[in-house]
Structures are given as C-alpha cells and as structure tokens.
Amino acid sequence: MKTPLAGLPVNRFKQRLRAGEQLHGLWTVLADGYIAELLGGCGYDWLLIDAEHAPNDLRSVLQQVQGIAASREYLGELAGEVSHPVVRLPHGDPVLIKQYLEIGVRNLLIPMVETAEQAAELVKAVNYPTEGTRGLGATLGRASQWGRYRDYVEKASENITLILQIESKKGLANFDEIVATPGVDAVFFGPSDLAADFGLAGQPAHPEVTAVIDAALEKALEVGMPSGIMMVDPTAVRAWYDKGVSFAGVGVDSILLTRAADALLESFRN
C-alpha cells in the first residue's frame, strides 16, 4: 500500500509572485538535466525551461525538473528560497498542458496569447472539472507522487501558476480582457516578438516597443496583475523593475556560456 504524504507542498513561486516580490530568473535552453541541476544551486528565484525555442520535449523537461529538485535536496537550508522551475510550452495545447502538469510542472508560461477567449481556455486546461477540463489521472504521475499526495486533486489548481505571454499587437489590443480573465496568475511581455510585429525586428529596446509595454504594464499594475519580462541587459532589467515588473528573466545559460568561453580564449590570444 502506498504511504500517504503530508499535504501537497505549497507553490512558493506563486505565493511570492502574489506578494509582489521581485523574482530574478534565468533562461535555460541547453536542454539537459545535469545543467539544470547545476543552475538550480545558483540561487536564482526561478529557472525557465524553454520548450518553445530550445530542443526540449516532455522527457527532457522531466529530467531538468528532476535535476532542479535534486539541487534542492543537497543544498537544503543553504539554498534559502530555492529555484522554482517554470516551463514555457511550445504552444497552449491542452493535451500538452495536461502532460506537463502530470510530470510535476507547476508553473507554466504559455507563448503568444492574443485573446481573452484563448486565456479562458488555458485556465480551463489547468483546472479539474467542474471549473476546468483537465483529465483526472494524477495518481499515475509524478505531480501527486503517484497518489501519495492524497489531497492532490483538491489542492492542485491553487498551486499551479498560469503565466500568459503577450508578444503581439493583437495581444496588446486585447490586453485589458486578458488580464481580467479569472484564473490568470501573471502576464509576461515578449519584447523581441513585439518588436518584430511592429516592424522593428532585432530592436526589443526600441522606444516604440518600450512605450507599448509601458502602457500595458500600467494597466496590469492597476488591476494587481503580476508582470514579467525577459531582458539580458542588466540596466534595462533594473529599469523595468523600477517601473513595476515583478519577475524578470535576466540571462540565458547559452549566452553566459558562449560569452565566458569567448572571453577566456580571447584573453589568451591577446
């Protein structure tokens, strides 16, 4: 017989987001559990596992989530607030959402959300009936520790963070309705795709792009919706924090690796 565990652990990432803390994140695109475990010990508040633009699938994401969990185990109290995995799916497919939830992903970032109707369907996908459409199969998966968390179905929804990425003109046009959708936990601005949609590809910090994000961020702040952004320029990140962004991706593992490797080689060549 399975040994029941104490209640389902509270999602501290969601708690801290709601509390208005500023949470620093790192993008990981190298698609490897060993690297995720290494990064999990660095102390970032959250790690974004990218299944949209990186060579990730369900199995590789599982390995990375397990790697981050392992870093938590051996660091223990030294880790303080440990890194929380956030997974960006390739798209908002309810079938994919169900699978990622079953392997224990509790923080989802869904790209290219453009309408309130789309937002409402995504909310349904992360909730069990009668509020949603998620299938009942948790006892078969890691999320409930294969049924050992007896209260999983009861408490799952309140411990899932649904973050919607706004990265198009259409998404901005429908922004008010999207953030008003019950069950949406946060929004995330994508400056690069927004720049491309405005005919400014490769210029995510262009004043026109900054201005439209500023306007949307102000609306989000008015209704108490946490907002995030991705910027690898530290000065730009600090400026967005000052404006009210509550969580930011401040770097990418592949960029950090290539820059450090290039700089080391250059130091010898010189």
| pLDDT digit string, tens, across residues 58-77 | 999 999 999 999 987 776 65
Residues 182-241 pLDDT 10s = 999 999 999 999 999 999 999 999 999 999 999 999 999 999 999 999 999 999 999 999
Q: Which one from 53, 84, 91, 206 is the annotated catalytic residue? A: 53
Q: How far apart are the first and last CA of the chain?
A: 66
Taking the C-alpha atoms of residue 71 and residue 161, their distance in angstroms, rounded to an integer, is: 22
Helix, strand, coil percentages, rounded to 5, for the chain: 50, 15, 35
CATH of the domain spanning 21-269:
3.20.20.60
The confidence score (pLDDT) of residue 1 equals 45
In whole angstroms, what is the distance from residue 178 CA to residue 162 CA? 12
Average pLDDT, integer, range 149-174: 96
Report the predicted TM-score, pTM, of the whole model to 2 decimal places.
Answer: 0.95
Look at the alpha carbons of 47, 52, 54, 58 in this order and tell me if their dihedral is positive or negative.
positive
The residues, any chain, with a CB within 8 Å of residue 8's CB and separated by 6 or more, are 144, 149, 151, 152, 155, 156, 159
24 is catalytic: no
Residues in the chain: 270
**Mean pLDDT of the 104-126 span:** 98
